[in-house]
Amino acid sequence: MRISDDKAEDAKGVGRQEDDGRTLADRLGWGIAEVLVENDTSAFKRRKTKLPDGTTALRTFRPKFRAALDMLSSGERDGLLAYDLDRTARDPRDLEDLIDVVEQRHIPVQSVTGSLRLANDADITMARVMVAIANKASRDTARRVARKHVELAAEGKWNGGGFRGYGYTRKGMEIIEAEAKVIRDIAAWILGVPSRSLNWIKDELNRLGVPTVTGKPWNARSVRSVVTKPSVAGLRAHRGRIVGPGQWKPILDMDTWERVCATLAGRHRNVDLTLKRWLTGLLHCSQCHREISGAQGNGGPRYWCSTPHGGCGKIAINAAMAEAEVERQVLDLLTRPRVLERLDHISRSEVTDDARRELADDEAQLKQLAGMWARKEMSLGEYREARKIIEDRIKGSRALINASAPRALRRLLAGDVRANWAALTPADKRDVVLTLVPEGYEVLAHDRSRGNPFQPERLRPEHVTTAA
Ligand SMILES: [Zn+2]
C-alpha cells in the first residue's frame, strides 16, 4: 500500500486499503505474511538503488517497494498483492524491475482493483502503457513547489524567485548586455596574466562605478558569485548540482567558465598549488610512507618529508626537476593510444555511468513502444503520450552525460593533448596525474654513490591504472 502525497485525493485510507486486500487474499486462499506501507513523498526523487540482480541504477526512492522486490527475488515471499497498479509503480522503471522479478520467479501478482496484472504479455503491455501515462499524469498534477523546481530543473527552465541573476532579465532570462560585459571582464581579469584577485576586481568595479543588482557596492563574494554561478555558462543547477543545459543563452562559454571556477577553487584550496607545487598529494616517502609536500629548501623549492609535519626528514627532491620528470612520464603515457582510449573511457564513465545505462534503457523502451504501436497494441494517442515521456527523459540523460565528464580530462583530450597539457592549471595537472597514477609516486632515496645530478628513477609510479 502506498499513502498518496495528496491526502484529499486519498479517499480510501490505508486501513480501508488493507481491509480490501485481506478480503481478496481470503478469496484467493493466500496468507498475508507481511504488510508494507509506503509513504510516497519523494515519488520523483531518484537515487542510486540496488536492483534485485545486484547492479545499481537510478530509481525513484521507494524503500518498501525495493524491500518487496528483494523478498520476492530471494524467494522469501512468493506472491505480491497490491491495492492497485498506481500504488505499486508510478515510474516505468519501477514497473520494469517488478516485471523482471515476476518473469524470473513466476510470482503471482494480484490487486484489489484488478489494474495490476502481469500474468501474460498482453497484461504486461497494458501495465506499461498505464504506468507511462499515470507517470505523466502525476507529473502534470504535481503542484508542490519543491517538485515544480525539480521538474523545471530537468527541463532547463529558469525557476524564478529571489533576486534576478546578474547578467539576465528576471523574466525570460534575456541577456543584459552591459552586465554580460562586466561578467566577461571579471573572467578575463581572473584568467589574465597576472591573474587578478577578487579584492582587486571588486575595487576596480567600485572605482568604475559599476552597479550591482542590489545597489550595494561590490565585495569579493559578489564578484565570485556572479562569475561562478552555473547560469552564466547556460547551465541549470538544482540544489548546487548541475542538472543540465538551460534554455537561456550563456554569457561565458563553458571552457572559460570552467577555467574561472577552477582558478578560484584552486586559490581557495591552496594558493601554492595553483602557482607551482602541483605534485603535492602525489608523492610519498619511500622511508616512512608519509605524503611529501612542497617546501622551501636551501637549494630552492623542493618536496620534502618534512619533520615539522611528522615526517622522517630523510627524503627530499628538487621540486622543479621532479615536476619536469612527472610531466615527461605523463606526456609519454599520453602518446600511447591505449592509454588515451582508457582515459577517454574514464572521462565518459564515472559519474555518468548511470545516465548512460538509463539512456540505453530508454532507447530500447522507445523501440519497444514503436513496435507495440505498429502491432496495434496501443492507440496513436497512447503511443504519442508514452513516447513523449521517454523522449523527455532521454533529453535529460544526454544533458547529464555532457555536463558531468571530469573537466580536466575533457579539456586534455579535446584536440592536441600536448598543447592542452601545457595549458592546464596546476590543479588540473594534478587531477590528470591522479587519474593516470591514482596512488601517486614513491620517492626513493638519492643514490649518493652517483654524485649530485638529479636521478629521475627516484620517482617511482606506484601503480599505473591505464597501463593494462
Ligand atoms: Zn619520510
Looking up residue 85, the CATH number of its domain turns out to be: 3.40.50.1390
How close is the Cα of 435 to the center of ligand 1, in Å? Answer: 24
287 and 419 fall within a common domain? yes
How close is the Cα of 333 to the center of ligand 1, in Å? Answer: 28
How close is the Cα of 310 to the center of ligand 1, in Å? Answer: 9
Q: Which amino acid is at 264?
A: L
Domain presence at residue 155? no
Domain presence at residue 171? no
How close is the Cα of 325 to the center of ligand 1, in Å? Answer: 20
Looking up residue 222, the CATH number of its domain turns out to be: 3.90.1750.20
Q: What is the full DSSP assignment across 231-252? A: GGGTEEEETTEEEEE-SS--SS
Domain presence at residue 170? no
211 and 89 fall within a common domain? no
* Per-residue cell: 354: 548511470
Per-residue pLDDT reduced to its tens digit, 268-320: 444 443 446 888 778 889 998 888 888 777 777 889 888 877 788 899 999 88
128 and 184 fall within a common domain? no
The pLDDT, as a whole number, for residue 52 is: 73
Of 232, 253, 269, the residue at which a domain comes to its end is: 269
Per-residue pLDDT reduced to its tens digit, 379-424: 777 777 777 777 777 766 665 555 444 567 777 777 788 888 888 8
How close is the Cα of 464 to the center of ligand 1, in Å? Answer: 22
Domain presence at residue 161? no
How close is the Cα of 284 to the center of ligand 1, in Å? Answer: 8
The pLDDT, as a whole number, for residue 144 is: 37
- pTM for the model stands at 0.36
How close is the Cα of 443 to the center of ligand 1, in Å? Answer: 9
The Cα 24–Cα 17 span in angstroms is 11
215 and 343 fall within a common domain? no
The Cα 424–Cα 433 span in angstroms is 12
283 and 408 fall within a common domain? yes
Domain presence at residue 85? yes
How close is the Cα of 440 to the center of ligand 1, in Å? Answer: 15
Q: What's the average pLDDT block by block, 10 residues per block, for the chain (468 residues)?
A: 57 71 88 83 62 75 85 90 83 85 88 82 76 57 40 49 72 84 94 85 93 86 87 72 71 83 64 60 85 78 83 89 90 80 66 66 77 76 77 68 58 81 79 75 90 89 58
How close is the Cα of 265 to the center of ligand 1, in Å? Answer: 29
The pLDDT, as a whole number, for residue 196 is: 86
Of 217, 243, 269, the residue at which a domain comes to its end is: 269
Per-residue pLDDT reduced to its tens digit, 326-343: 989 888 888 787 777 777
How close is the Cα of 426 to the center of ligand 1, in Å? Answer: 24
* Torsions phi, psi for 66 (to 5 deg): -65, -40
How close is the Cα of 444 to the center of ligand 1, in Å? Answer: 10
Domain presence at residue 444? yes
How close is the Cα of 195 to the center of ligand 1, in Å? Answer: 35
301 and 380 fall within a common domain? yes
**Among 198, 259, 229, 184, which Cα is nearest to 425's?**
259
How close is the Cα of 302 to the center of ligand 1, in Å? Answer: 14
279 and 250 fall within a common domain? no
How close is the Cα of 431 to the center of ligand 1, in Å? Answer: 24
The pLDDT, as a whole number, for residue 151 is: 46
Mean pLDDT of the chain: 76
Domain presence at residue 162? no
220 and 254 fall within a common domain? yes
377 and 231 fall within a common domain? no
Cα angle for residues 285, 290, 296 (degrees, 5° grid)? 70
How close is the Cα of 313 to the center of ligand 1, in Å? Answer: 6
Instruction: For the chain, report the end-to-end CA distance as a whole number of angstroms.
Output: 50
How close is the Cα of 295 to the center of ligand 1, in Å? Answer: 14
* Torsions phi, psi for 69 (to 5 deg): -60, -45
454 and 340 fall within a common domain? yes
Share of the chain above pLDDT 90, in %: 12
CB neighbour list of residue 50: distance below 8 Å, 6 or more residues apart: 56, 66
In a 3-state reduction of DSSP, which class is residue 393? Answer: helix
232 and 286 fall within a common domain? no
Whole-Å CA distances, 441 to 2, 118, 253, 328, 436: 54, 57, 36, 14, 11
Count of domains for the chain: 3
How close is the Cα of 331 to the center of ligand 1, in Å? Answer: 28
Domain presence at residue 225? yes
- Its domain, for residue 251, covers 177-269
How close is the Cα of 436 to the center of ligand 1, in Å? Answer: 24
Of 101, 121, 143, the residue at which a domain comes to its end is: 143
How close is the Cα of 458 to the center of ligand 1, in Å? Answer: 14
How close is the Cα of 260 to the center of ligand 1, in Å? Answer: 36
138 and 208 fall within a common domain? no
